[in-house]
């Protein structure tokens, strides 16, 4: 949900119980549009496992679902009659595995906005419970576990229940983990089903591979560092490599071919390009030592003697010794620049405009101990070089960004000040270094501060490293360095398989961080042939990496794969942070009969004013009747995104096709007529929502045994239109506890909701304004869950009732449930 930017709240439930947050307002507005429950909020009470929520609290949520038509998600649940199933056992032990497949027909009908493909994916590391459906009247299986040595036939891995009173829930019989690509894939199932494909936030995969060539950078955004510089190659006796025009020509052709294949393969709208970070001094080195033999004047002259510093070294402001000569000026001529065939090639508009271009400083001088004057010269000389080479006129030129040499200088306030003075606003960081990652949200940039960086307000965009080493130009080189330095095992394909898995996981989590490469990684003309994805030919290290990771990723989804240049990427990160700080939300408006969502309102908690637009995802096959002047965007197979600017008032929009809600009595559900979404709604007597409560009445309606709040909900549900905010409420067990999915065979039904009676009371949750919770997993102990309250204020003049876009996650955090 963080990846989409969907607002949510987290309720951590201790073993002794806790009050539920207020589910609805006194005027009848609903506060939540989805409930997400982890491991049934269960604890080991010694004699048995049971939920820390009382039966009255479960009934309150069930009744709320029935009244407002919202859905519930269970993750890491145990198959039982409560879900119209029974368990076949658990799986899998080390060395054994099962696959999981989402049913294509159900996905197309019920959650088409997820944009899924339907591979059989290994469940490695995720403990799960194969099940069989026992109540076909209320239950359909949307997810299948494949056979293995323990289970000789397929079994259900997840179901959708539709009970006779219209209440719906989606149940996953597997644990989730943030480290797992299959978990991130399945997150898109429940998010899009649970919110009907209509929510605040949006989905976008940005794939940037940055190449640094002491002259150029590539971004996948793959950024390629060190363009124009020669690189010393690992494992050689002084051997170096510098990119050649033939290598660049190959990557231009390959880039175009890759985009064609992505589109024809089902990922319409894809547009990938390499981004280079250049060092202009590499042009001088070439013309003085390799090409024309010192026939051009020396623009600067100094002997580098860089001080070796710790990685996170913080320099005292104003200290250091200049290494550049005083009064250095840029005197390099166009005639001398053009003597380098590589620079000349990048000056050609065909090549210049096909790639992204940005600065990597002039000489690649380390910037941890550097002085202000030297840092300023390193930037401005490279800027002058870029102007002379016409890079500043390139279609994908980023003039406000930087790839710092070896990612140095980020704790040097003098260097940061020099970058800012030279007109720069951002640089890339290194995700292997925690001090350079936002402590608030993985989807935000890190903003430097005076205390730890010596400068306030410089923006650091997160960037992933790979196992493709900066000082390698062949597969054998990077394989050997991986073995030598990281205890790697196997061959180049084992290395690439690890990259496939980790990168697919990141992309499915909607991480937009670019990937780090270097100019030596583009050597192609004279490398040995390899077979990648069944094709045998020459591949550069960058090509084999991109081909491998995208081959993995496109098996999961049909989304477009897009690259943004650095400056645009920075804007995307900054806007994401800005709109999160506005605490935006949407609320659904229902028809008078309360059986369909007819539109929505967009607002935020900062007086309904936000300096950046708020994205709203519209279900596949639907649109807006009153878009007005607001921007809409739809790329390839992605859903329509509406970008809403808030200037002091809530904005209201109407859907062209109402989204039908499941009503009591078994009415069918259709997302929209064009998407043909439907779900079965046959009555059942095995659902917890239909079992009698202590007074003998069905808990699907308000009775004296439900909480007073639920009685209010039931009483305030006249046949008039209403509005519901659509936050998700996530509920889970408290941290540092041991939890397990609830096995009904071990539960004493008379105390299924053990805890103090005061737990049945209702109170309003208070919450901080910022979250970095990764709520996609059911038990990653390393994840901290903070609560974000993101509800929109409603004008008193608006008499409609609202269902909020808050979703409650009932979250399990005590046990990972992974087997290795």
DSSP 365-420: ---SS--HHHHHHHHHHHHHHHHHTTGGGSTTEEEEEE--GGG--TT-HHHHHHHH
**pLDDT single digits (tens) 545-586:** 999 999 999 999 999 999 999 999 999 999 999 999 999 999
Measure the CA–CA gap between 224 and 520, rounded to whole angstroms: 9
Which of 5, 32, 191 shows the shortest CA–CA distance to 578?
Answer: 5
Looking at residues 55-63, what average pLDDT do you find? 97
Confidence (pLDDT) at 655: 98
DSSP-derived secondary structure letter, 615: E
Position 663 pLDDT exceeds 50: no
Name the residue with tokens 């930087």: 402
Position 209 pLDDT exceeds 70: no
**pLDDT single digits (tens) 332-387:** 889 989 999 999 999 999 999 999 999 999 999 999 999 999 999 999 999 999 99
Measure the CA–CA gap between 820 and 94, rounded to whole angstroms: 5
Measure the CA–CA gap between 143 and 15, rounded to whole angstroms: 31
Q: What are the DSSP calls for 337-349, one per residue? A: HTTSHHHHHHHSH
799 pLDDT band (50/70/90 cuts)?
A: very low
Position 759 pLDDT exceeds 90: no
37 pLDDT band (50/70/90 cuts)?
A: very high
For 35, 109, 475, the CA distances from 678, given in Å and listed in that order, are: 21, 6, 50
The better pLDDT of the pair 38, 739 is held by 38
Position 736 pLDDT exceeds 60: no
Bond from prior residue into 221 cis (ω within 30 degrees of 0): yes
Confidence (pLDDT) at 709: 26
For 242, 313, 319, 375, 725, the CA distances from 316, given in Å and listed in that order, are: 36, 10, 6, 15, 50
Which of 790, 676, 810, 784 shows the shortest CA–CA distance to 730?
Answer: 810
Looking at residues 740-753, what average pLDDT do you find? 39
Confidence (pLDDT) at 219: 32
Position 613 pLDDT exceeds 90: yes
Position 130 pLDDT exceeds 60: yes
Position 626 pLDDT exceeds 90: yes
Position 792 pLDDT exceeds 70: no
662 pLDDT band (50/70/90 cuts)?
A: confident
Question: Measured over all CA atoms, what is the biggest interatomic distance in the chain, rounded to whole angstroms?
Answer: 98
Confidence (pLDDT) at 316: 98
Confidence (pLDDT) at 812: 33
CB 326 within 8 Å of CB 380:
no
Q: Which residues contact 659 (CB under 8 A, 6 or more apart)?
A: 196, 197, 198, 596, 597, 619, 622, 670, 671, 672
459 pLDDT band (50/70/90 cuts)?
A: very high
Measure the CA–CA gap between 268 and 260, rounded to whole angstroms: 9
CB 669 within 8 Å of CB 168:
yes
**pLDDT single digits (tens) 767-780:** 222 222 222 222 32
Confidence (pLDDT) at 249: 99
Q: Is the pTM of this model over 0.95?
A: no
**pLDDT single digits (tens) 716-726:** 333 344 555 66
Specify which of 572-586, 676-690, 696-710, 775-789 reaches the highest per-range mean pLDDT: 572-586
Confidence (pLDDT) at 290: 60
DSSP H or E run through 651 = strand 651-660
Least confident window among 92-96, 479-483, 705-709: 705-709
């Amino acid at each position: 949900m963080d990846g989409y930017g969907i607002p949510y709240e987290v309720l951590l439930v201790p073993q002794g119980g806790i009050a539920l947050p207020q589910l609805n307002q006194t005027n009848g507005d609903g506060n939540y549009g989805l409930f997400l429950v982890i491991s049934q909020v269960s604890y080991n009470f010694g004699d048995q496992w049971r939920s820390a929520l009382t039966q009255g609290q479960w009934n309150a949520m069930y009744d709320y679902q029935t009244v407002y038509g919202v859905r519930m998600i269970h993750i890491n649940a145990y198959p039982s009659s409560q879900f119209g199933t029974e368990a076949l056992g658990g799986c899998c032990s080390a060395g054994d595995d099962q696959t999981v497949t989402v049913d294509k027909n159900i996905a197309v009908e019920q959650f088409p906005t997820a944009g899924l493909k339907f591979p059989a994916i290994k469940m490695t590391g995720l403990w799960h419970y194969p099940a069989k459906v026992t109540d076909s009247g209320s239950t359909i299986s949307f997810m299948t576990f494949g056979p293995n040595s323990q289970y000789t036939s397929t079994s259900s891995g997840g179901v959708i229940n539709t009970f006779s009173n219209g209440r719906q829930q989606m149940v996953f019989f597997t644990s989730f983990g943030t480290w797992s690509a299959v978990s991130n894939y399945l997150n898109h199932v429940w998010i899009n089903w649970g919110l009907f494909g209509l929510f605040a936030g949006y989905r976008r995969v940005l794939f940037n591979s940055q190449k640094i060539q002491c002259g150029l950078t590539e971004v996948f955004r793959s950024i390629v560092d060190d363009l124009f510089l020669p690189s010393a190659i690992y494992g050689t006796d002084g051997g170096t490599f510098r990119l050649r025009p033939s290598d660049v020509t190959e990557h231009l052709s390959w880039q175009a071919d890759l985009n064609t294949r992505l589109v024809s393969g089902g990922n319409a709208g894809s547009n990938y390009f390499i981004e280079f970070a250049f060092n202009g001094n590499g042009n001088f080195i070439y013309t003085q030592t390799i090409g024309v033999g010192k026939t051009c004047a020396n623009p600067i002259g100094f002997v580098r003697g860089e001080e070796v510093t710790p990685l996170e070294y913080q320099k005292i402001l104003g200290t250091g010794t200049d290494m550049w000569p005083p009064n250095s000026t840029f005197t390099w001529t166009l005639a001398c620049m053009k003597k380098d065939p590589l620079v000349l090639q990048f000056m050609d508009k065909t090549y210049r405009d096909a790639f992204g271009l940005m600065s990597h400083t002039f000489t690649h001088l380390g910037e941890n101990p550097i002085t202000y004057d030297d840092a300023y010269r390193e930037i401005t000389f490279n800027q002058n070089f870029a102007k002379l080479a016409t890079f500043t006129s390139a279609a994908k030129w980023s003039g406000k960004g930087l790839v710092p040499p070896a990612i140095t200088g980020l704790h040097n306030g003098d260097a940061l000040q020099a970058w800012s003075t030279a007109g720069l606003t951002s640089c890339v960081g290194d995700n292997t270094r925690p001090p350079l990652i936002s402590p608030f949200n993985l989807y935000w940039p890190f903003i430097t501060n005076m205390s730890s960086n010596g400068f306030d307000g410089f923006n650091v965009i997160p960037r992933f490293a790979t196992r493709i080493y900066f000082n390698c130009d062949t597969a054998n080189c990077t394989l050997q360095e991986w073995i030598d330095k990281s205890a790697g095992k196997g061959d180049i394909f084992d290395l690439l398989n690890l990259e496939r898995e980790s990168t697919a996981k990141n992309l499915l989590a909607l991480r937009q961080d670019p990937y780090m490469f270097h100019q030596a990684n583009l050597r192609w003309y004279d490398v040995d042939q390899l077979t990648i994805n069944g094709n045998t030919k020459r591949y550069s290290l960058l090509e084999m990496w991109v081909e491998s990771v995208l081959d993995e990723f496109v098996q999961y989804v049909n989304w477009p794969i897009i690259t943004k240049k650095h400056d645009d990427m920075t804007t995307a990160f900054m806007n994401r942070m800005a709109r999160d700080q506005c605490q935006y939300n949407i609320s659904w408006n229902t028809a008078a009969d309360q059986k369909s969502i007819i539109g929505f309102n967009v607002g935020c908690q900062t007086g309904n004013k936000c300096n950046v637009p708020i994205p709203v995802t519209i279900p596949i096959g639907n649109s807006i009747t009153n878009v007005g002047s607001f921007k809409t965007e739809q790329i390839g197979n992605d859903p329509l995104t509406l970008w809403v600017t808030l200037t002091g008032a809530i904005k209201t929009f109407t859907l062209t096709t109402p989204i039908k809600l499941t009503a009591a009595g078994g009415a069918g559900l259709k997302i929209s007529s064009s998407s043909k979404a439907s779900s079965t709604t046959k009555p059942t007597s095995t659902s917890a929502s239909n079992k009698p409560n202590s007074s003998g009445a069905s808990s699907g309606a308000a009775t004296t045994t439900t909480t007073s709040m639920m009685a209010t909900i039931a009483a305030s549900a006249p046949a008039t239109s209403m509005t519901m905010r659509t936050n998700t409420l996530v509920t889970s067990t408290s941290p540092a506890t041991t939890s397990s999915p609830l096995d009904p065979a071990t539960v004493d039904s008379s105390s299924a909701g053990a805890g103090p009676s005061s737990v049945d009371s209702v109170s309003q949750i208070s919450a901080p304004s910022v979250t970095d919770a990764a709520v996609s997993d059911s038990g990653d102990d390393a994840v901290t869950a903070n609560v974000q309250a993101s509800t929109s204020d409603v004008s008193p003049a608006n008499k409609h009732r609202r269902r909020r876009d808050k979703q409650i996650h009932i979250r399990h955090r005590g046990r990972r449930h992974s087997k290795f």
